[in-house]
């Protein structure tokens, strides 16, 4: 036996007010579910936003830490280069100072030798001039001049040493 399916509308036996009431109940139930889902969606959105904010803070913080680390490294490298440059400059200045000091010492020694040689060459005339100035015309030194010059020539090295050493 074949079963027959009732295809007649359900509402045929339900009074008109009941249909309206069912619609209203359905609508209220739909609005309630929609409201609950909206509330859950809103809570989920807030949670997702909070998690996204935390993630962004962590990422930005991480990026800033890396940038600052690179910046500090660059500053350290620049500082090291500056220190090395200052050390090289200091070394060059010290070398230049030593060179100039050596050169000045050589020039002073050469000038001292030149003046002593000049004094040696003109010692007889210088001493003659001072002795004549000291005794004037009171004594005739022409007779004793050879003896005096001989004594000075004998003591020449001692006189030069006394002048050289400042004694």
Q: Sign (positive/negative) of CA torsion 107, 113, 116, 118? A: negative
119 occurs within a structural domain: yes
> Which of 36, 32, 54, 55 minimizes the C-alpha distance to 44?
36
31 occurs within a structural domain: yes
Q: How many domains does the chain have?
A: 1
pLDDT in tens, 30-72: 999 999 999 999 999 999 999 999 999 999 999 999 999 999 9
5 occurs within a structural domain: no
Residues 6+ apart with CB under 8 A from 116: 160, 163, 164
Q: Residue 139: what pLDDT?
A: 67
Give the mean pLDDT of 18-41.
Answer: 90
Terminal C-alpha separation, the chain: 156
Q: Residue 91: what pLDDT?
A: 96
Residue whose token pair is 């040696």: 120
55 occurs within a structural domain: yes
6 occurs within a structural domain: no
Confidence category of residue 116, pLDDT binned at 50, 70, 90 = confident
CA dist., res. 147 & res. 141, Å (int): 10
CA dist., res. 38 & res. 44, Å (int): 10
7 occurs within a structural domain: no
Q: Angle, nearest 10°, between helix axes 16-135 and 156-165? A: 150
pLDDT in tens, 82-92: 999 999 999 99
pLDDT in tens, 61-114: 999 999 999 999 999 999 999 999 999 999 999 999 999 999 999 999 999 888
80 occurs within a structural domain: yes
The domain in which residue 67 lies consists of 16-165
> Which of 149, 107, 110 minimizes the C-alpha distance to 129?
149
Is the pLDDT assigned to residue 165 strictly greater than 60?
yes
């Amino acid at each position: 036996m074949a079963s027959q399916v009732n295809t007649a509308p359900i509402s045929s036996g339900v009074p008109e007010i009941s249909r309206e009431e069912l619609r209203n109940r359905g609508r209220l139930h739909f609005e309630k579910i929609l409201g609950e889902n909206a509330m859950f969606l809103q809570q989920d959105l807030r949670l997702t936003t909070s998690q996204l904010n935390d993630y962004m803070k962590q990422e930005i913080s991480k990026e800033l830490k890396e940038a600052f680390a690179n910046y500090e490294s660059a500053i350290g490298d620049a500082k090291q280069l500056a220190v090395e440059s200052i050390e090289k400059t200091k070394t060059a200045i010290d070398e230049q100072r030593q060179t100039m000091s050596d050169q000045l010492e050589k020039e002073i020694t050469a000038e001292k030798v030149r003046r002593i040689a000049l004094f040696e060459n003109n010692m007889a005339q210088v001493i003659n001039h001072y002795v004549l100035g000291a005794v004037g015309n009171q004594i005739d030194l022409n007779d004793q001049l050879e003896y005096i010059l001989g004594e000075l020539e004998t003591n020449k090295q001692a006189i030069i040493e006394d002048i050289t050493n400042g004694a």
